[in-house]
């Protein structure tokens, strides 16, 4: 079959990660890149050998023959761009979070259904080999029934993206960064029924977006998780992640600073180490979406799945504001 034609909207940091992954997929042809800063789009076109570049994505949609659009823009305009692209009959993969408003997430989900196109949100940990191992081990009952989990994700403030200063354009650390851990815990343990969070703007001067949050998640099956997101670390602090799940028969943990990717402890015997292959998760997720379009199958991370994760992280923001636990589902919007 002919190659599927892919266009990227947003020539920033994450596009530099996505473009090499697209170029590795044999059935894909990168045809254009777009950014509101035209010089940046032109630069990416030259560096990565992409034939066309645009400043206006609507013009690109009109002029180019495109099958798939990869949205790599700031969170606050995911919904507008995705709906426009899907209404033009394009399949869409968008960076996380799906949006900042639940109504925008609904609009994206409905646009995909109305236009009969594929739509996926790039929650990359679902494709990260270490976390895939965790999912498999828990599903296979290796640690029994999950009862307690702990996850943290820490770094300095993302100064390269000023829109993260405003809670209504970036969402804050829990919405933008801890959403990775929340999505993984939903995937591994199950649905969340209540969130109780603390946090605020503890370091970043002039910001309205929370730069530190810790939250307790209560799952429908009775499990409890502690999730911490921090942008208050020094600029030189290494990006750090950690996740631990304790079950009725054992425990496991994964972090990004030890040689053994996943370690499992059981009630008897010595700890077991798992070192999954080092295949790039960004390549795996984009290859999966390409195959979903090619084979007319539903992608693993649907809009509905991404909305459920968004609801949990927004509940944390609401909990901080109201100084009390918040039950799901949410009633009404939290941001914007």
For 174, the enclosing helix (H) or strand (E) is helix 173-176
| pLDDT single digits (tens) 125-143 | 999 999 999 999 999 999 9
- Segment among 104-113, 191-200, 267-276, 299-308 with least mean pLDDT: 267-276
| pLDDT single digits (tens) 47-83 | 999 999 999 999 999 999 999 999 999 999 999 999 9
What are the tokens at 33? 């890149």
101 has a pLDDT exceeding 90: yes
Secondary structure letter of residue 277 according to DSSP = -
What are the tokens at 198? 């603390």
For the chain, what percent of residues have pLDDT higher than 70? 99
Query: Residue 77's pLDDT is what?
Result: 97
- 242: Cβ–Cβ under 8 A, 6 or more apart, which residues? 150, 151, 152, 153, 253, 254, 255, 256
Which whole number is the average pLDDT over 138-159?
97
Query: Residue 274's pLDDT is what?
Result: 82
1 has a pLDDT exceeding 70: no
**∠ CA 272-278-279 to the nearest 5 degrees?**
135
270 has a pLDDT exceeding 80: no
The pLDDT-based confidence of 86 (bands split at 50, 70, 90) is very high
Please indicate whether residue 151 or residue 160 has the higher confidence score (pLDDT).
Answer: 151
The secondary structure of 180-243, three-state, reads HHHHHHHHHCCCEEEEEEEEECCCCCCCCCCCEEEEEEEECCCCEEEEEEECCCCCCCCCEEEE
- Domains parsed from the chain with CATH numbers: 4-122 (3.40.50.720), 126-281+311-327 (3.30.360.10)
Q: Are 48 and 66 in contact (CB under 8 A)?
A: no
From the list 220, 100, 207, the residue with the least C-alpha distance to 157 is: 207
Mean pLDDT of the chain: 96
């Amino acid at each position: 079959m002919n190659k599927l034609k892919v266009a990227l909207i947003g020539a920033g940091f994450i596009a530099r990660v996505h473009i090499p992954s697209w170029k590795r997929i044999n059935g894909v042809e990168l045809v254009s890149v777009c950014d509101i800063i035209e010089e940046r789009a032109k630069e990416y076109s030259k560096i990565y050998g992409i034939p066309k570049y645009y400043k206006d994505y609507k013009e690109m949609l009109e002029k180019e023959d495109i099958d798939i659009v990869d949205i790599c823009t700031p969170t606050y305009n995911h919904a507008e761009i995705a709906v426009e692209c899907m209404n033009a009959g394009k399949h869409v993969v968008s960076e996380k979070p799906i949006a900042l408003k639940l109504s925008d997430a609904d609009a994206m989900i409905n646009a995909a259904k109305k236009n009969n196109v594929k739509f996926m949100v790039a929650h990359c940990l679902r494709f990260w080999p270490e976390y895939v191992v965790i999912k498999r081990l828990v599903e296979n009952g290796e640690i029994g029934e999950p009862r307690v989990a702990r996850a943290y994700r820490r770094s300095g403030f993302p100064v390269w993206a000023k829109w993260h200063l405003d809670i209504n354009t970036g969402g804050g650390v829990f919405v933008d960064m801890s959403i990775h851990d929340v999505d993984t815990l939903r995937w591994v343990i199950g649905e969340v029924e209540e969130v109780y969070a603390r946090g605020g703007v503890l370091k970043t001067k002039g910001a309205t977006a929370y730069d530190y949050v810790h939250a307790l998640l209560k799952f429908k099956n009775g499990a409890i998780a502690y999730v911490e997101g921090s942008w208050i670390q020094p600029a030189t602090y290494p990006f750090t992640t950690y996740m631990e799940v304790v079950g009725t028969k054992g425990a496991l943990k994964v972090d990004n600073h030890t040689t053994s990717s996943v370690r499992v402890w059981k009630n008897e015997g010595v700890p077991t180490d798992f070192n999954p292959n080092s295949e790039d998760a960004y390549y795996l997720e984009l290859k999966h979406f390409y195959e979903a379009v090619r084979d007319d199958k539903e992608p693993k991370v649907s809009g509905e799945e991404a909305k459920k994760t968004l609801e949990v992280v927004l509940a944390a923001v609401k909990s901080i504001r109201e100084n009390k636990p918040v039950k799901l589902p949410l009633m009404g919007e939290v941001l914007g």
